[in-house]
């Protein structure tokens, strides 16, 4: 089972963030003109009817940067009707990367929800297996899925690389410090990080292997040549 920590031991837990929005009366292609004025169309859905809203682009950008996909956001509509939500989808312009549309999912703060949490590596330089240039720490999985109540969702999970003593060891999903009250539902054996040998070392190994194969081929040819000469001598003597 994944490790559990007491809530007081968790350094980076979710915190409440507020976002003021207004009801939106423009839809479809008309939203383009809305964006040109610095206003972004958003939707709020779940636990009731879907509502079309709008919010200032700069305020929305700062909110998304702070909350990500794991921190609850208390959304108010026209100064009232506060509702807890989580960011569920963010659309950006493919060229400018500016915000185009955002979806918020209403959540019940007393009920667990499934959410993906990003993973960050720590103590890469302390990994014993990297000493002497033996290799570098490589990350293979960047997020895992957990189930937790909204306020118990961590903003990120740390993968401690100090346990990597050699090239044969891995940091698994089960090694992550999952907060108390949360449940890891991703594969516990998923390989989060390991030590990758230097590229130069890999090339040397490949060259040695190739030379070995070529050497075997030359020996075979010499052997065949010797047999041929022997046969010729025997025929001459006859």
Domain end marker among 38, 71, 106: 106
Reported as a single tens digit per residue, the pLDDT across 20-78 is 999 999 888 888 889 999 999 999 999 989 999 999 999 999 999 999 999 999 999 99
Reported as a single tens digit per residue, the pLDDT across 75-97 is 999 988 889 999 999 999 999 99
Same domain, 58 and 139: no
Of residues 92 and 202, the one with the higher pLDDT is: 92
At 211 the pLDDT is: 60
Candidates 184, 175, 123; CA nearest to 153 is 184
Domain end marker among 41, 74, 106: 106
Candidates 129, 139, 144; CA nearest to 176 is 144
Whichever domain contains 178, its CATH number is 2.170.120.20
**Residues pairing with 14 in the sheet:** none
Q: Residue 159 belongs to what domain range?
A: 113-199
- The residues, any chain, with a CB within 8 Å of residue 195's CB and separated by 6 or more, are 127, 129, 130, 134, 135, 136, 137, 138, 164, 166, 167, 169
Q: Is 28 among the domain residues?
A: yes
Number of domains in the chain: 2
Report residue 1 as tokens.
């089972």
**pLDDT of 219 over the 50 cut:** no
Q: Is 91 among the domain residues?
A: yes
Instruction: Give Cα separations from 17 to 35, 130, 236 (angstroms).
Output: 24, 40, 99
Domain end marker among 86, 106, 126: 106
Candidates 79, 84, 90, 5; CA nearest to 40 is 90
Q: Is 191 among the domain residues?
A: yes
Radius of gyration (Cα) for the chain, nearest Å? 30
Candidates 91, 158, 72; CA nearest to 118 is 158
Q: Is 232 among the domain residues?
A: no
Candidates 116, 179, 128; CA nearest to 151 is 179
Whichever domain contains 56, its CATH number is 2.40.240.10
Same domain, 83 and 140: no
| Residue 12 banded pLDDT, cuts 50, 70, 90 | very low
At 98 the pLDDT is: 93
Check residue 43 and report its DSSP letter.
E
- The residues, any chain, with a CB within 8 Å of residue 57's CB and separated by 6 or more, are 35, 38, 39, 40, 98, 99
**pLDDT of 237 over the 70 cut:** no
Report residue 70 as tokens.
């794991």
* Cα separation, 225 vs 68, whole angstroms: 71
Same domain, 98 and 118: no
pTM for the complete prediction? Answer: 0.69
* Helix, strand, coil tally for the chain in percent (to 5): 35, 35, 30
């Amino acid at each position: 089972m994944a490790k559990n920590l007491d809530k007081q031991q968790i350094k980076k837990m979710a915190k409440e963030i507020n976002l003021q929005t207004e009801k939106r009366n423009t839809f479809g292609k008309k939203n383009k003109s809305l964006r040109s004025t610095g206003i972004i169309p958003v939707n709020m859905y779940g636990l009731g009817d879907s509502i079309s809203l709008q919010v200032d682009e700069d305020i929305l950008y700062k909110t998304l940067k702070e909350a990500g996909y794991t921190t609850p956001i208390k959304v108010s509509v026209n100064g009232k009707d506060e509702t807890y939500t989580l960011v569920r989808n963010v659309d950006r312009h493919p060229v400018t990367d500016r915000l185009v549309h955002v979806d918020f999912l209403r959540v019940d703060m007393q009920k667990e929800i499934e959410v993906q949490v990003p993973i960050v590596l720590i103590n890469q330089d302390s990994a014993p297996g990297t000493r002497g240039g033996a290799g570098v720490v490589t990350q293979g999985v960047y997020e895992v899925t957990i189930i937790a109540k909204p306020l118990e969702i961590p903003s990120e999970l740390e993968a401690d690389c100090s346990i990597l003593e050699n090239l044969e060891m891995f940091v698994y999903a089960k090694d992550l410090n999952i907060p108390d009250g949360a449940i890891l539902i991703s594969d516990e054996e998923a390989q989060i990080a390991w030590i990758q040998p230097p590229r130069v070392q890999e090339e040397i190994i490949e060259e040695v292997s190739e030379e070995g194969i070529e050497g075997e081929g030359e020996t075979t040819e010499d052997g065949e040549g010797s047999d041929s000469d022997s046969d010729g001598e025997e025929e001459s003597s006859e």
